A = this chain, B = another copy of it.
């Protein structure tokens, strides 16, 4: 049970977590904080939060669970603003899509990695943003990755795990490094590639015809290019090292495919496509929606 949950950033993820926990009666009070007052008012009207805090210290005062659910770029100022104002029993967690940067920022602000800070990342979402897009079932059956450090207290980890399990998520633990490499490959790189493809097409002469004749494959491929640019900007910088490394491998793979096509090496191209198809077909997504 959570007595007082502070949600910093009441958007799709923060709002959905609040809704999921409220549905189970898991929180006595849910306090929301954010920079967009209109969004917070909306969250209160929708019953997602009980109260609006006017500052970070006010939001975290007396909260036994604090969840950072803003874009990653705001984490430093949030940590700075809560420093010295947290309740003695407070646990702090987050939903950021990169974890190394969160640990680095926490270390830098608090002077060390606090035992009560549990970095986390729900692998869930849609390409929509804002509290109006939030829903209580967003995390049901979805994975949440927690990346405790050597400093993390077992009790804090346990409370964050219990919170996510109450939201019907499947909780896994990974190291910070493994998380960032895996997410770079499966999420951050695909987003970068989708944004880039849409821009490539916009730059072509026949943009209108291009979009008119584009088919479902293109629609699916580029759906994630409708994701929030600020959030993804933050993620790209936050996980820059792993992302650029994945991108470099990818561009090298593209270069080899290009060479196969150019020199007419049909066998190599066929084998490459067949290998990808086998891997993709083996990989069955079990009821996972958008990330």
Contact = CB atoms under 8 A, between A and B. Distances in A.
Interface of A: 123-125, 127, 142-143, 145, 172, 174, 178, 181-183, 185-187, 189-204, 206, 209-230, 232-233, 236-237, 240, 243-244, 246-247, 249-251, 253-255, 257-258, 261-262, 264, 266, 269-270, 272-277, 279-283, 285, 288-291
Given A225-B280, A254-B196, A269-B233, A289 B216 contact: yes
A71 to B, nearest CB: 11
Contacts of A224: 217, 220-221
B193 A221 contact: yes
18 contacts: A123-B213, A145-B213, A181-B204, A185-B201, A186-B213, A186-B214, A195-B272, A196-B253, A199-B272, A200-B246, A204-B246, A204-B249, A216-B285, A218-B291, A219-B288, A220-B290, A237-B269, A240-B261
Given A186-B201, A227-B277, A261-B243, A214 B283 contact: yes
A273 B221 contact: no
For A127, A142, A229, A276, the residue with the greatest tally of chain B CB atoms inside 10 Å of its CB is: A276
Nearest to A232: B273
Given A219-B288, A250-B200, A273 B233 contact: yes
Q: How many copies does the complex hold?
A: 2
Contacts of A250: 196-197, 200
9 interchain residue pairs of minimum CB distance:
A215-B291, A229-B273, A217-B291, A198-B276, A216-B290, A186-B214, A220-B220, A229-B274, A195-B276
A250 to B, nearest CB: 5
A199 to B, nearest CB: 5
A192 B250 CA distance: 12
For A182, A191, A237, the residue with the greatest tally of chain B CB atoms inside 10 Å of its CB is: A182
